Structure 1
Amino acid sequence: MAKKRKKTAVSRRPNRRWRWLAVGIAVLLAGVALFSIRYESFASLYDAEYVGSETCGECHAPTYEAWDRSPHANMTRRPTAASVVGNFQDYEWALPTAARISATDTLPAARMYQQDGDYYMALRQPDSTEFVPFKVEYVIGYQYRQVYLTREPGGVLRRLPLQWSTELQDYFPYWNFQEQSTPYLHDLWAQMETANSAWNLFCARCHTTKLQILDANLEATVADVTWVDDGIACEACHGPGSHHVSYFESNYVNRVAAFVNGRLRDQPIAYIVNPIKQTKGEATSVCARCHGPDVQMSTMEIYRTYEPGYSAEGRVNDLSPYFQQLPLEPGRDSFTVEVYDDGDPKGIAMVFRSFVESECYIQDEVRCYDCHDPHNNKAERVPGILQPSEASNNYCLRCHQELESQLVEHTGHEPGTEGSFCYDCHMPKEILSLVTGVPRYTRTHLMSSMPDPENSVTFGLANAPNACTACHADQTPAWAVEQMVEMGLVE
């Protein structure tokens, strides 16, 4: 007799797996839809408050620490042993011989000293032996020069006329050096009466974060001014962060939503400006507001009201229509806005203008932060702003790959030698800076330009320098023209 087989129970697990899978897919789809709604909702909002850089540092610690060491972070500080670079050890500064026009001018013009933990700059009154002490309330900068501010009864932070040059290791009369004029003692005093010496009414907007002028008068003797952060802090470039903070702190779902939108959908992060996610003009506007003289000098109201982020109309501010407002006319418009006779930028404020004039900016997506790290804009103990890739052509070759195998033919120099790097010829040191008390030249950012010794022949080297004779100083512009003809670079 055949044995009966036992009936075995049919497993229901596969059905349960499919059920959970369906639920998971539904949740995922709902999540994607939810995240999409969240993204749309914060694209049009702009009523956030500033929270300060320390709040940003709670979540963005590595970036915050790098920024905290940078000149941006340490631009505006209270005077301490760590922040003051000038000599305040009972130091005396004398007028140069050409400025001594009275019997008392052989005496020191200024004395710098410390008293009860405070720092003072005392200026001698003209035609007198009496000194007037000014207590230093803030110091501005520290790398190339340092500015000293004193507070007046009306609230104005007045810029003192002598600044410290790190290169000279001495004080120098800043405005006289810019104007190449004689620093008479009465002129030093007069410099503290001009409107633009009221630092917190004029200069402070680019040296602080979220500056607000609550009260002022036309004479620039009254100033009720506040700001959120000393120096150029996170929100100076990323916009006000209160909604960004509350959005991420409210629940973990929002963090997942931000990850999905930011990493998978390449969308902006919630309620904050990230230049990488912006258009070229919008992203570059963050730098242009302070580094672009065209915006400041031709469109002052926009310069004063611009904030990175979403405007009241629901769009990101874009200053690019104002990047090239000033005419490039040969001559000196101000102490930092100057143009060579051949039309190339010369003054230190023209670095940004030279950048937006270049084909690299116009035709391509080259942006400031491709070469400059905004969170650590000048590495410690390394001169200049460029990252360590300065001693290579790697960045340029990302677009100009065809030149990598033709380097000698293209440059006329052996690889690794001066003249073989792209910036030697296309970014020569032609921009003049007088802000440190010593004339110094920095690289033009007119990257698409060719060395043009023909202009040097026409206008003279001083009025139209070229990269060739900058290195080959023993040769003439005419020789440089011949070399370029031989290389087939000009006809």
Structure 2
Amino acid sequence: MPIFPTASPRPLPVLLAALFWILLSLGAMAEQDGYVGSTICADCHVEETNAWQSSHHALAWRMPGRDMLVGAFEGEVFEHDGMRTEFWRDGDTRMVRVTEKDGVTTEYKVHSVGGVAPLEQLLLETEPGRLQSFDVAWDVDEKRWYHIYPDLDLPPGDGLHWTGPYKNWNARCAECHATGYVKNFDPPSARYNSTQVEIGVGCEACHGPGAKHLELVKGGHSGDMPKSYGFAVDFSDTEAGMQQCAGCHARREAFGGGSPAPGTAFHDAYNLALLRPGTYHPDGQILDEVYVYGSFLQSQMYAKGVGCGNCHDPHSNERVAEGNAVCTQCHSPAGNPDFPSLALKEYDAPSHHRHAADSDGAQCKNCHMIERTYMGVDERRDHSFRIPRPDLADSTGAPDACTDCHTGQSPKWAADAIADWYPEGRWTQSHFGTALAKGLADPVAGAKGLIDLAGDSEVNALARATALWVLSNAGDAVHIDDIAPLLKHGDPLIRANAVSALRAIPATLTAPYLVAALEDPSRNVRLAAARAVVTIPPDSAPAALRPAYGPASRAMVQFLKNQFDFPEAHLQIAGIALTQREFASAERAFQTVVALDPHHGDAWVMLVRIAGALRGEDAARKVLAEALERLPDNPALLDLARQL
């Protein structure tokens, strides 16, 4: 059924018309050309194909077959939080019968499977073309069904329920589990007609379409083949290769409606997640699942030119060596000539790690790559390769590798031990986490430290960008001279968040910088500028900024058209409408949010307030009653009920 409210809004102004009606009229996205399929590559590249065929990339998305879900669909029954799931086979077809906690029972054929290990996740087609990731997954090692989110109450209708928008495979997952994927979402019907060159991460998902390569080979150009061999990505360029990996191995916001063309610069396709609360700890350690890239950008290894391929075989996805050997290929008395700044000394010895040889504490990864478990059974390691800093516990609240293992001890105990072992070690140096923690707690009080952090060239770009984002809430504590130099920084991540920081400064001062940022070579920067511009009321904008509203609205249209099946996109439209005092338009956008995610409390609160402002208290009470049916315990809604 359509996701859009049917009430007719009053006419929209030009800006909101661009942001809404153009979106509704968009056609399907064209498929990319030049793909030939992985089977063609296998004819010549036998060794690489053999390594790839059993990799997590090749098996990232599969149609049902005998080699998957081994031991499952033999009549098992799984019950959790009032939901009952039955698994069986109808001939060769795997079937799932789901009885939700509201008593509704539905049967599904298993459409396909995402992942290969340590879990396999069922993809169920809930309506033609719409695939949803089922929350009861198969534990490959233990051969059991389990719920991925056992501690969450996710009733039908909740956006996080397995049938909701946040578990939609087409929108949230398929881009990184397929090759040449195009989402093809049709807003008026709320239907998907998604396509892909092949399911699974094939050769061309990383290298790019192979037609040009075949043309060069067949034309007899093997002797003078270009460095990229006719492909879009030159993996001999470490940074280019890593950005290609990062497209999927990163927590990020995508700008497009499917797989970006391989070779697209990361910041032209994505907005990288910052070190925000709930995602990372203030010192940059992983908290939620962040998929490696944001962690690796914080590392000294990245700063010295190390790339993904130095540790991982790109075709098998396996590490290039086992255990500490993957580290000692560089960190040893012999060193590695590719990285001449390395200290040539013994690391894989008790004199360095201070633990018994062959113990858990002697494993490099246990001290320098803390491990966290996601989706119930999927163990992921922090790729920031940090030196343990238990001395930061009091100022950042972050964990440390030492007390991860020595659970009965305190961070102070660990900090004292490190100080004794390494009296002049890294723990004696300042750490960006202290400034970020203070700034996150109080952006105004922490502004000085954040400004210093943002301008510190010795600190990684992700931490500096995060400092700039926090400064956007620091008001008068931020001056234009603090931000202006960073608007010309070489890293698009820093430039984009410097634009965000301009929001703390009056538009009379920032107008020329915002106008310039709309022409930045990086799409991420241009979008940051567009967001900033469209949230400044035109009637109060300086004259220098008014010509920017057209380019800004066009940039937002281009972005939002690809995200129209996301509640987040409609929240942005609602925010823009509120800024423009177009309350009817904002109401319509918030209605779309709760149509997509009926349990979105903030959207309901705004709907109650807008109803009251436009139609009076009786209308507000009516909307509030509807909201409380969905969210009877929401504190903000209950507070509104007391006021009304």
TM-score by shorter chain over 0.5: yes
2:164 to 180, 194, 204: 194
SS at match of 1:136: strand
Q: What is the CA–CA distance in structure 1 between the aligned matches of 2:152 and 2:312, rounded to whole Å?
A: 35
- What aligned pairs does 1:179-328 form with structure 2 within 5 A after superposition? 180-182=151-153, 186=156, 191-217=161-187, 220=190, 222-251=191-220, 254-258=221-225, 268-273=227-232, 275-280=234-239, 282-293=240-251, 296-297=252-253, 300-302=254-256, 304=258, 306-309=260-263, 317-319=264-266, 325-328=272-275
Q: Secondary structure at the match of 2:218?
A: helix
> How many angstroms does 1:216 deviate by?
2.5
Question: How far apart, CA to CA, are the structure 1 residues paired with 2:268 and 2:365?
Answer: 28
Aligned residue number for residue 169 of structure 1: 143
- CA distance in structure 1 between the partners assigned to 2:189 and 2:166 by the alignment: 10
**Paired residue type of 2:314:** P
SS at match of 2:193: strand
Partners in 1 of 2:367 and 2:228 — Cα distance?
39
1:181 counterpart letter in structure 2: L
Aligned to 1:117: 92
TM-superposition CA deviations, 1:222-281 (whole Å, max 9, x none): 111211111000000000001101210223xx11222xx6xxxxxx1331145432251x
Q: Which residue of 2 aligns with 1:483?
A: 417
Whether 1:359 and 2:344 are equivalent positions in the alignment is: no
Q: Distance in 2 between matches of 1:480 and 1:326?
A: 31
Residue in 1 that maps onto 2:8: none
Q: Distance in 1 between matches of 2:73 and 2:417?
A: 53
**Paired residue type of 2:230:** Y
Note the aligned Cα RMSD (angstroms).
Answer: 3.0
The answer to whether 1:467 aligns with 2:381 is no
Shift of 1:473: 3.6
3-state SS of the aligned residue for 1:137? Answer: strand
Which of residues 262, 287, 293 in structure 2 aligns to 1:346?
A: 287
- Equivalent residue for 1:52, pick from 19, 37, 41: 37
Q: Secondary structure at the match of 2:330?
A: helix
1:427 maps to which of 349, 369, 373: 369
Identity in percent: 25
Q: Which amino acid aligns with 2:198?
A: D
Structure-2 separation of matches of 1:57 and 1:223: 32
Aligned-residue offset at 1:131: 3.7
Query: Could you tell me whether the CA contact under 8 Å between 1:87 and 1:112 is conserved in 2?
Result: yes
Q: Quick one: which amino acid aligns to residue 203 of structure 2?
A: C
CA-CA distance at 1:53 after TM superposition: 0.1
Q: C-alpha displacement at 1:370, in angstroms?
A: 1.2
Match of 1:412 in 2: 354
User: Could you tell me how far 1:360 is from its partner in structure 2?
Assistant: 1.3
Moved more, 415-424 or 367-376: 415-424
Aligned partners of 2:124 and 2:134 also within 8 Å: yes
How far does residue 125 in structure 1 lie from its aligned partner after superposition? 5.0
Classify 1:322/1:477 alpha carbon distance in 2 versus 1 (closer, same or farther; 3 Å). farther
More helix by share: 2
Is the contact between residue 208 and residue 230 of structure 1 (CA under 8 Å) also seen in structure 2?
yes
Task: Answer yes or no: is the 8 Å Cα contact 1:50–1:241 preserved in 2.
Answer: yes
**CA 1:328–1:153 in 2, change beyond 3 Å: closer, same or farther?**
closer
Deviations 1:347-404 (A, max 9, x none): 2225221101112102x111112111221114xxxxxxx3333333423323434222
Instruction: Determine which of 360, 363, 381 is the counterpart of 1:443.
Output: 381
Give the 5 Å matches for 1:32-47.
none
Correspondence for 2:128: 154
CA distance in 2, matches of 1:405, 1:66: 31
Q: Evaluate the alpha carbon distance shift between residue 370 and residue 181 of structure 1 in structure 2; reply closer, same or farther with a 3 A threshold.
A: same
**How many angstroms apart in 2 are the aligned matches of 1:164 and 1:406?**
38
Residue matched to 2:75: 90
Q: What letter matches 1:207 in structure 2?
A: H
Tell me the alpha carbon deviations over residues 307-358 of structure 1, each in whole angstroms, 9 at most, x when there is no partner: 213xxxxxxx3215888843313x32xxxxx222544222222522110111
Q: Report the counterpart of residue 112 of structure 2 in structure 1.
A: 138
TM superposition shift of 1:52: 0.2
Is residue 70–residue 376 contact of structure 1 (8 Å, CA) maintained in 2? yes
- Give the match for residue 31 of structure 1: none
TM-score (norm 2): 0.55
Query: How does the TM-score come out when normalised to structure 1?
Result: 0.70
Letter in 1 for 2:306: V
CA distance in 2, matches of 1:76, 1:301: 23
Q: Which of 390, 399, 423 pairs up with 2:323?
A: 390
CA distance in 2, matches of 1:442, 1:214: 32
Q: 1:369 aligns with which of 295, 309, 322?
A: 309
Distance 2:230 2:198 in 1: 20
Q: Whose Rg is larger? A: 1
Secondary structure in structure 1 of the residue aligned to 2:89: strand
CA positional deviation for 1:153: 4.7
Residue 456 of structure 1 corresponds to which residue in structure 2? 393
The residue type paired with residue 246 of structure 1 is: E
When the two structures are aligned, how many residues end up with a matched partner? 385
Q: Residue 405 and residue 169 in structure 1: after superposition, are their counterparts in 2 closer, same or farther (change >3 A)?
A: closer
Superposition deviation, residue 119 in structure 1? 0.7
Residues 11-90 of structure 1 mapped to structure 2, 5 A cutoff: 49-85=34-70, 87-90=72-75
Taking structure 1 as reference, are residues 76 and 256 closer, same or farther at Cα in structure 2, changes over 3 Å only? same
Unaligned runs of 5+ in 1: 1-46, 262-267, 310-316, 333-337, 379-385
Q: Is the 8 A contact 2:275 2:282 kept in 1?
A: no
Deviation for aligned residue 1:146: 1.6
| 1:256 maps to amino acid | G
Residue aligned with 2:255, SS: helix
